[in-house]
Chain A
Amino acid sequence: MKKISSAEQWLSRLEEQLNLEQLMENCCQALLELSGADRCSIMVLDSDTDQLTVRWAQGSRVKRKGGSLKFRVGEGLCGWVARSQKAYCSLDATREPRFVPQKTRARKFRQVKTLCCLPLVAQGRTVGVVNLSSFSSSQKFPWIRQVKARRFLDRLAQVIAHATLLREAQVVTDRLRQQAKTTSETVAQVSHEVRTPLALMMEAAQQLLDGFGGPLTEEHQMRVQMIKSQADRMLRLVTELLDISRIEAGRLALQREELSLADLIQDVRSRYQPLVSPRTLKIETDSVPTVYGDRTRLTQVVENLLTNAVKFTPPDGSITVRLKTRGRSAELAVEDTGVGISSKDQKRLFQKFIQLKVPASLGARGTGLGLTIVKEVVHLHEGSVHVSSEQGQGTTFTVQLPLYTPSLALAQEFRVMREQAAREGRALAVQLLRAKPGAKVPFQKVRELLAKQVARDDRILEYPGGGLAVFSVLDASGLPAMRRRLEENLSRHPDGFLGRIGWGWALVPKEETTLPGVLTLAERRCEGTQAERAKT
């Protein structure tokens, strides 16, 4: 009874283990403990090459990562077991005709007495083979004959199959990410290379228009204007292509802040009035929601939606930008009285390089990328965008973005920084600064102070309930330096902030996907330093 309960304990421990190597080691430990064998090795079958590779071997005289020892399916005892999916147990292994002694470890293998090869089968497919052996005497490992052992091995096979799949998926994802990165770098290079000649063309045309080459006839002017506006269009195309490729490579880093959408719209309005005119541009703000967003990128969203609206709206029409708060979201709608979009076109509107037919009498052609960027940028902000339109009546694009709250900002930055850390193979640290009980701390001031001092990619965020959180991607060994830097910066300040602030930190474990656990740890350390300083 005791053994089975521990088998179950083992299983629940193994199922949590996603690291393949660690899993192998744990499996070996479990099997050694449960079966009483001297030595255990686990071989995993690579279905592409049909080879069994020892992934981990453990027990008397050995504890090591595998990798070097390989068998073909059908070769040796384990190969036979892998093919037949039947367990095989021999009390005198070296005398078995199928036994293949390994030259390198000949002496050790000659001493093997009992050898049990057990297939690991998941969903009818061989995943690998477990080898249990004893050296000193021929013993039969009674545990493995129990039904419960069979069940244990089956579940083990499944866990290994899952972990292997996960590893394979990881490899594929990494490769795809690398490809996207390369593409993005190429596009970036091309984009930069193209900008200089374009700049020259545009400037040369502009100088002609400005009369640097003498007066132009109207015919000349028209053609030079055309050169300029087409070069301008090409420039937009190149810039937007770069944006798209960065988004696709997951390399568009948002610089987010607490942002008032009303301010942003006013800013866009002042610059876009000439483009929109003679159409009327109305702004209706029911509320002034703030979101946690990237000012440059969200400005781009509004600009692209406006440019799009202008394209489809006749000169006597009007464009309205509405801003309101709906539930926990900020809602920004750009509404035009233009020609409308058919329901068929609405479906493909956000795809790359889709250009809808613009009535010849209306605006210039775009790049076909503007709305794709809108969609991608809004998604990066965890928002959504919808279109509703009726032909002849006009079109409304509605963007919804989550309202700013400190905890939302914290969660979002945590996710972004964790991904960055994983990508760079570095650690993520979170530091908390909280006021000591009863102490008043002007955190806005502290924040400004810190902003000048922390590394470029560090993020300083408002911590719910009074305080600040700083996220940093670093090498774990850099933590003491970071701590020193922070404390020095604070203690140097004439207001003596440090005395009123508790400081705590935590390194985020790689597998940690949610924030609360890490924050609790940092909070506890915060209280610790508060108590420590209170004593001194």
Chain B
Amino acid sequence: MEKKARVLLVDDEPDLVQMVSVRLTAAGYEVVPAYDGQRALDQVKQNRPDLIILDLMLPKLDGYKVCRLLKFDERTKTIPVLIFTARAQVEDVTLATECGADAYLTKPFEAKTLLDKLQELLGAGKKE
């Protein structure tokens, strides 16, 4: 049995964290929640995840900044970051890409799309 992949789920909406956690747990992932940008960074240091699901509008430190900090740090830049947000405009996607995000998914979401994206990102991470 393979070790469970650890996903850090960053979102300030507890209901959403719960809903997504249910899906991810059912699909065999270990989910670690974080409710703001600062705690997300702390979590990454303490308990390195295999992948990060990151909301953009976060208290304390917004998702763009979190993403940039992670991607400019040699130690964390290989962790795939999936931006998961309600912002669906072209400019938002461009900005997220410029911050170094690996993928972008908008809310509302199809569970299958989310799970497929995770697999794709984790698969790509392993090959390297």
> Are A202 and B108 neighbours in the complex by a CB distance under 8 Å?
yes
A342 in contact (CB, < 8 A): no
Which residue of A has the minimal Cβ distance to B110? A206
Bitwise, A278-315 to B at CB < 8 A (1) or not (0) is 00000000000000000010000000000000000000
Which residue of A has the minimal Cβ distance to B19? A203
> Are A196 and B13 neighbours in the complex by a CB distance under 8 Å?
yes
Residue count of chain B within 8 Å CB distance of chain A? 21
Q: Which residues of A contact B20 (CB under 8 A)?
A: 203
A195 in contact (CB, < 8 A): yes
Give which listed residue, A203, A210, A253, A456, contacts B109 with CB less than 8 A: A203
B107 in contact (CB, < 8 A): yes
> Are A199 and B94 neighbours in the complex by a CB distance under 8 Å?
no
A255 in contact (CB, < 8 A): yes
> Are A200 and B13 neighbours in the complex by a CB distance under 8 Å?
yes
Q: Which residues of B contact A296 (CB under 8 A)?
A: 90
> Are B86 and A195 neighbours in the complex by a CB distance under 8 Å?
yes
> Are B86 and A204 neighbours in the complex by a CB distance under 8 Å?
no
Cα-based distance from A456 to B108 in the complex (angstroms) = 28
Cα-based distance from A212 to B107 in the complex (angstroms) = 20
> Are A199 and B108 neighbours in the complex by a CB distance under 8 Å?
yes
Bitwise, B61-89 to A at CB < 8 A (1) or not (0) is 00000000000000000000000001111
> Are A199 and B22 neighbours in the complex by a CB distance under 8 Å?
no
Q: Which residues of B contact A235 (CB under 8 A)?
A: 108
B15 in contact (CB, < 8 A): yes
> Are B16 and A200 neighbours in the complex by a CB distance under 8 Å?
yes
Which residue of A has the minimal Cβ distance to B15? A200
A90 in contact (CB, < 8 A): no
> Are A192 and B90 neighbours in the complex by a CB distance under 8 Å?
no
Per the 8 Å Cβ criterion, residues 200-223 of A in contact with B are 200, 202-204, 206-207, 210, 212
A501 → chain B closest CB, angstroms: 28
Residue count of chain A within 8 Å CB distance of chain B? 23
> Are A239 and B108 neighbours in the complex by a CB distance under 8 Å?
no
> Are A204 and B19 neighbours in the complex by a CB distance under 8 Å?
yes
Cα-based distance from A155 to B98 in the complex (angstroms) = 56
B74 → chain A closest CB, angstroms: 23
A198 in contact (CB, < 8 A): yes
Among B19, B98, B108, the most chain A Cβ lie within 10 Å of the Cβ of B108
Cα-based distance from A210 to B88 in the complex (angstroms) = 26
Cα-based distance from A20 to B19 in the complex (angstroms) = 62
Given the interface pairs A198-B108, A200-B13, A206-B111, the reply to whether A192 lies near B19 with Cβ below 8 Å is no
> Are A196 and B19 neighbours in the complex by a CB distance under 8 Å?
no
Cα-based distance from A255 to B26 in the complex (angstroms) = 39
Cα-based distance from A242 to B19 in the complex (angstroms) = 27
Give which listed residue, B26, B94, B108, contacts A195 with CB less than 8 A: B108
Among B13, B19, B57, B98, the most chain A Cβ lie within 10 Å of the Cβ of B19
Cα-based distance from A239 to B86 in the complex (angstroms) = 11
> Are A192 and B87 neighbours in the complex by a CB distance under 8 Å?
yes
Q: Which residues of B contact A202 (CB under 8 A)?
A: 108
Per the 8 Å Cβ criterion, residues 82-122 of B in contact with A are 86-90, 94, 98, 106-109, 111
> Are A203 and B111 neighbours in the complex by a CB distance under 8 Å?
yes
Bitwise, B14-28 to A at CB < 8 A (1) or not (0) is 011001101100100
> Are B16 and A199 neighbours in the complex by a CB distance under 8 Å?
yes
Q: Which residues of B contact A193 (CB under 8 A)?
A: 86
Cα-based distance from A221 to B16 in the complex (angstroms) = 22
B27 → chain A closest CB, angstroms: 12
Q: Which residues of A contact B15 (CB under 8 A)?
A: 200
Given the interface pairs A203-B108, A212-B22, A235-B108, the reply to whether A195 lies near B16 with Cβ below 8 Å is no
> Are A456 and B16 neighbours in the complex by a CB distance under 8 Å?
no
Q: Which residues of A contact B23 (CB under 8 A)?
A: 203, 207
Cα-based distance from A206 to B115 in the complex (angstroms) = 15
A87 → chain B closest CB, angstroms: 59
Bitwise, A178-204 to B at CB < 8 A (1) or not (0) is 000000000010001101101110111
Cα-based distance from A195 to B19 in the complex (angstroms) = 15
Per the 8 Å Cβ criterion, residues 461-480 of A in contact with B are none
Which residue of A has the minimal Cβ distance to B16? A200
Cα-based distance from A239 to B108 in the complex (angstroms) = 11
Q: Which residues of A contact B111 (CB under 8 A)?
A: 203, 206, 210
Which residue of A has the minimal Cβ distance to B92? A192
Cα-based distance from A242 to B13 in the complex (angstroms) = 23
Among A195, A204, A212, A296, the most chain B Cβ lie within 10 Å of the Cβ of A195
A25 → chain B closest CB, angstroms: 42
> Are B94 and A456 neighbours in the complex by a CB distance under 8 Å?
yes
Cα-based distance from A199 to B90 in the complex (angstroms) = 20
What are 12 inter-chain pairs, A to B, with CB distance below 8 A? A195-B86, A196-B13, A199-B16, A199-B86, A199-B108, A200-B13, A207-B22, A212-B26, A239-B88, A242-B89, A253-B90, A255-B90
User: Sorted from nearest, which 8 A-B pairs have the closest CB atoms?
Assistant: A199-B108, A195-B86, A199-B107, A203-B19, A202-B108, A196-B86, A192-B86, A200-B15
| Given A202-B108, A207-B23, 9 further pairs, Cβ under 8 A | A188-B89, A192-B87, A193-B86, A195-B106, A196-B16, A199-B86, A199-B109, A203-B108, A456-B98
